[in-house]
Copies of this chain bind each other. A is one copy, B any other.
Amino acid sequence: MKIVSIGAGNLATNLCVALHKSHHDILQVFSRKSTSAECLACRIGASPVTDMELITTDADIYIVSVTDSALPDVARRLVDHLEAGNQGGALPLIVHTAGSIAMDVIPSARRGVVYPMQTFSKQRLVDFSQIPIFIEANYADDLEMLRLLATSLSSHVQVLSSTDRRYLHLAAVFCSNFTNHCYALADKILSQHNVPFSAMLPLIDEVAAKVHSMPPHEAQTGPARRHDANVMNEHIELLANDKRLQNIYKIMSESIADD
């Protein structure tokens, strides 16, 4: 398929590289920042564009991967541009890639969503074949088109409504952002007590591996699960000089104990 990427950030970079590897033709990469547009375009044989007026009207799909806050405005301007170029004809399919934003942020009938649920960095390309991709479209034909596109990248493709996708994104914040922050808080504690963070890696890996074979509720261990008040009170005391960290400890432990 002929594709234009609106955006050249972490998700756009990973998605476009994967699409390129699956032999899709990415015509252009748009970004307001010329270095970002050029850097990604160069990796995938596309043309960099920094002026929205120069975006081609000839693509099959326009994939908008910009920050959530920029998405409404960028989608509106893209639709205006394509309408001006199409002179009243039907617009091509426009999709976004944001987990937490409804499909109808795109003010055009042929709209959809392709949400690859993963955490992305430009510097670290991930293997798309194992990434769950959640798709949605306004029209059945477009949904099939997105299914084709998504299955060319991954074997885990699921249709999901905008409403359910909001909860999926929320769950991903727990599994990803909050777990990583737990690592960061541990790092902060260890740095004051002569232990390198690397000592935690086997534990971190095992906790992640465990939930491949049992539900997280069953995998739960630790003082809160055992209702071991002695250990919990001692930990709370160790955190006496950091009230926020102490509060996180208390509320997480209460939630585990009552689960």
Contact = CB atoms under 8 A, between A and B. Distances in A.
How many identical chains are in the complex? 2
Given A124-B210, A160-B194, A172-B203, A248 B238 contact: no
Contacts of A224: 177
Given A100-B235, A251-B251, A132 B199 contact: yes
A173 B126 contact: no
A200 B172 contact: yes
Given A195-B158, A210-B124, A230-B69, A182 B186 contact: no
A207 B121 CA distance: 11
A170 interface: yes
Nearest to A99: B231
Interface stretch (A78-86, A89-97, A139-147, A213-221): A213-221
Interface of A, secondary structure class, is helix
A122 to B, nearest CB: 12
Interface string A237-259: 01100001101110110111001
A192 interface: yes
Contact of A216 (B67, B132, B184, B245): B184
Interface string A169-210: 111111111111111111101101111010111111111101
Contacts of A183: 174-175, 179, 211, 216, 219
A34 interface: no
A131 interface: yes
Contacts of A210: 119, 121, 124, 180
A29 to B, nearest CB: 21
Contacts of A194: 160, 164
Contacts of A77: none
Given A119-B203, A181-B220, A224-B177, A215 B195 contact: no
A2 interface: no
A164 B193 contact: yes
Nearest to A170: B235
Of the listed residues A156, A202, A238, the one surrounded by the most CB atoms of chain B closer than 10 A to its CB is A202
Given A180-B211, A180-B216, A131 B202 contact: yes
Contacts of A132: 199, 202
**7 smallest A-B Cβ distances: which pairs?**
A177-B222, A183-B216, A171-B186, A184-B216, A208-B208, A167-B193, A174-B186
